């Protein structure tokens, strides 16, 4: 405040020094698999089944990706990244010259052969053309419409800029090629023409269908356009590769999840039985998993029976990961990430039954070795009936035995990582440490009041330590500030014991 010049009351605003920490999302899923349509080489966010259907083509009989995404949204999911796998050696992109424009489908696949482009209006003045463009389907329905596009690269409506950024179907940029920077006119009025039917057509091809647990699928999965693309997204929490359970592939994906504070849902093999899972999770060849970070994954059995919309709604079997990911999302939204995504409320919406109907004794064989069971109960229907990580075998005695504890820890790590960025380059002394304790303590107190931790008082539930004791001169001289945060884990009530006795009459 400036100098005081007049008699009276002066108002001065003083910063509280508190920086708000906001919890990150906990149930953004990522689905990886083969499909015949959609962008390749970049994860695509979808927020509904209809959006997935428009971008990736909906259900494909015998292929699990579309079904898993549908099941995710049907069970409470709201956001998902899609990573499309293709066989790069056999997939091809539709393209042709239409009305003087060299256009390409924006992704490989036969879908481009039934996608049409029309130029209903075009005017050329000098060397510059302005025109309208429509993208249509095989029935003539207009999918996208663009007006006043220009061939001038300095025009705000430069066609390449507008189409390449806005269209869900077409692009000027050739597959794997450099961005287009100029367009030559003239552009001519052209009737609706298939992307592979103009001048010099390139025919789209789906390429070899890639099924989980096959060599081609694994090559694409681990390749440059595979699951590791997810390293480029701001955040994802749950990884699903529907139907994939190979013991050679799953460990590397679980390690990837560990690095990115995410959690993988692993499907059992369709051929799995209580007998071959009796000693713990195994893949379709009965090979046990060797995991460096088993607490970042959970294994579910059996497969789910549901109507197949692509086969006249006849019953079919599907891997559980899509259903379970949706249950994770709905539980997080309704109760919080600290609530186990299991129980009578964790119903599998849209399911007809289970491939294997388990009884209590069979469930009792699998639960202690870290196999999460799906169960069928009267009244409640088909539900998730297990909440253990792949580190959850009783024999391991892990502190990360339960899914909600592990996912809560990852939530805290991610939230505190993002919420303390303001600390970097601040003067490293007691005033800063006090601000840190205030900000982090407020965040932890909010979670305590929501029931995230064990304990009846804040002192029993959590602590935040950032002071001279854990920040000695030797640390501060190196530019290090140490913040220690602890929480009391809230274990789920996995076993309910009711004791009944007779009362003796006196």
3-state secondary structure string across 29-88: EEEEEECCCCCCCCCEEECCHHHHHHHHCCCCCCCCHHHHHHHHHHCCCCCEEEEEECCC
For residues 288 and 452, give the distance between their C-alpha atoms in angstroms, rounded to a whole number: 34
3-state secondary structure string across 248-298: CCHHHHHHHHHHCCCEEEEECCCCCCCCCCCCCCECCCCCECCCCCHHHEE
383 strand-pairing partners? 347, 375
Are the C-beta atoms of 270 and 317 separated by less than 8 Å? yes
* Mean pLDDT, all residues of the chain: 95
Predicted local distance difference test score (pLDDT) of residue 270: 97
b/e 436-447 (16+ beta carbons within 10 angstroms → b) = bebbbbebbeeb
Query: Tens of pLDDT along 54-100?
Result: 999 999 988 999 999 999 999 999 999 999 999 999 999 999 999 99
Query: Tens of pLDDT along 242-300?
Result: 999 999 999 999 999 999 999 999 999 999 999 999 999 999 999 999 999 999 999 99
Within a 10 A sphere around the Cβ of 195, how many other Cβ atoms?
Answer: 27
Q: Which two tokens stand for residue 370?
A: 């870290």
For residues 484 and 476, give the distance between their C-alpha atoms in angstroms, rounded to a whole number: 15
Handedness of CA 414, 417, 421, 423 (dihedral sign): positive
For residues 22 and 20, give the distance between their C-alpha atoms in angstroms, rounded to a whole number: 6
Among 350, 363, 343, CA closest to 320: 350
In this model, does residue 16 exceed pLDDT 90? Answer: no
In this model, does residue 1 exceed pLDDT 70? Answer: no
For residues 90 and 172, give the distance between their C-alpha atoms in angstroms, rounded to a whole number: 22
The pLDDT confidence band at residue 505, using thresholds 50, 70 and 90, is: confident
Query: Tens of pLDDT along 152-201?
Result: 999 999 999 999 999 999 999 998 889 999 998 799 999 999 999 877 78
Query: Tens of pLDDT along 384-406?
Result: 999 999 999 999 999 999 999 99
Q: Is-cis flag, bond preceding 359, omega within 30?
A: no
For the chain, domains (ranges, CATH) are: 29-86+210-404 (3.40.50.11780), 95-202 (2.60.40), 426-506 (no CATH)
For residues 310 and 302, give the distance between their C-alpha atoms in angstroms, rounded to a whole number: 22
């Amino acid at each position: 405040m400036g100098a005081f010049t007049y008699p009276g009351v002066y108002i001065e605003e003083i910063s509280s020094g508190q920086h708000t920490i906001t919890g990150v999302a906990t149930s953004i899923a990522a689905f990886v698999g083969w499909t015949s349509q959609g962008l390749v080489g970049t994860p695509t966010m979808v927020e509904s089944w209809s959006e997935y259907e428009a971008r990736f083509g909906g259900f494909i009989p015998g292929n699990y990706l579309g079904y898993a995404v549908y099941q995710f949204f049907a069970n409470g999911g709201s956001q998902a990244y899609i990573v499309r796998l293709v066989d790069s050696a056999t997939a091809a992109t539709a393209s042709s010259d239409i009305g003087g424009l060299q256009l390409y489908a924006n992704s490989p696949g036969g879908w481009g052969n039934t996608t049409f482009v029309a130029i209903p209006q075009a005017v050329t003045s000098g060397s510059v053309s302005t025109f309208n463009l429509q993208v249509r389907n095989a029935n003539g329905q207009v999918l996208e419409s663009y007006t006043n596009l220009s061939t001038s690269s300095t025009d705000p409506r430069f066609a390449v800029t507008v189409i390449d950024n806005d269209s869900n179907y077409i692009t000027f940029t050739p597959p794997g090629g450099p961005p287009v920077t100029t367009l030559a006119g003239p552009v001519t009025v052209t009737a609706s023409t298939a992307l592979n039917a103009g001048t010099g057509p390139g025919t789209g091809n789906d390429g070899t269908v890639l099924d989980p647990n096959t060599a081609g699928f694994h090559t694409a999965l681990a390749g440059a356009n595979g699951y590791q693309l997810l390293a480029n997204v701001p955040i994802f929490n749950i990884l699903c590769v529907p139907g994939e359970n190979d013991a050679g592939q799953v460990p590397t994906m679980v390690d990837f999840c560990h690095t990115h504070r995410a959690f993988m849902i692993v499907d059992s093999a369709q051929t799995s039985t209580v007998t071959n899972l009796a000693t713990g999770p195994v893949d379709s060849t009965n090979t046990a998993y060797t995991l460096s970070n088993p607490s970042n994954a959970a294994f579910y059995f059996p497969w789910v029976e549901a109507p197949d919309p692509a086969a006249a709604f006849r019953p079919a079997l599907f891997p559980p990961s899509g259903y379970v990911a949706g249950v994770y999302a709905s539980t997080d939204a309704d109760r919080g990430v600290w609530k186990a995504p299991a129980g009578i409320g964790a119903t599998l919406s849209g399911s007809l039954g289970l491939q294997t109907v388990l009884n209590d004794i069979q469930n009792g064989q699998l639960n202690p070795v870290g196999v999460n069971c799906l169960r069928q109960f009267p009244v409640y229907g088909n539900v998730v009936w297990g909440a253990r990580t792949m580190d959850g075998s009783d024999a391991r005695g892990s502190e990360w035995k339960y899914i909600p504890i592990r996912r809560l820890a990852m939530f805290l790590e991610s939230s505190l990582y993002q919420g303390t960025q303001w600390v970097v380059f601040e003067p490293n002394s007691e005033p800063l440490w006090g601000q840190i304790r205030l900000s982090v303590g407020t965040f932890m107190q909010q979670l305590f009041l929501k029931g995230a931790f064990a304990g009846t008082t804040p002192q029993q539930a959590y602590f935040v330590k950032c002071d001279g004791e854990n920040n000695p001169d030797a640390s501060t001289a190196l530019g290090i500030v140490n913040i220690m945060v602890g929480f009391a884990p809230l274990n789920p009530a996995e076993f309910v014991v009711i004791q009944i006795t007779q009362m003796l009459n006196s």
